[in-house]
Structure 1
Amino acid sequence: MDIGFFDAVPTVNVRIWRSDAIVLFDWLTTTDLNTVPITHPAQKQALADLLARLEETGDLMEATEDEIGAAQGEVAANMGR
Structure 2
Amino acid sequence: MNNDLPTVDLTIWRADAVVLFDWLQEVDLDRVPITHPAQKQALADLLSRIEETDVYMVTPEEIDAAKADVSRDMGW
TM range (shorter): over 0.9
Gaps of 5+ in 2: none
SS in 2 for 1:79: coil
Q: Indicate the residue corresponding to 1:55 in structure 2.
A: 51
Q: CA deviation at 1:68?
A: 0.2
Gaps of 5+ in 1: none
Q: 1:44 aligns with which of 40, 47, 58?
A: 40
More helix by share: 1
TM-score by length of 2: 0.93
User: Residue type matched to 1:18 in 2?
Assistant: R
**RCO higher in 1 or 2 (8 Å CA, sep ≥ 6)?**
2
CA distance in 1, matches of 2:45, 2:15: 19
CA distance in 2, matches of 1:71, 1:78: 13
Q: CA deviation at 1:78?
A: 4.1
TM-score by length of 1: 0.87
Q: Indicate the residue corresponding to 1:67 in structure 2.
A: 62
CA distance in 2, matches of 1:38, 1:78: 28
The reply on whether 1:35 has 2:25 as its aligned counterpart is: no
Instruction: Give the % identical residues.
Output: 60
CA distance in 2, matches of 1:67, 1:27: 14
Q: CA deviation at 1:10?
A: 0.6
The structure whose Rg is larger is 1
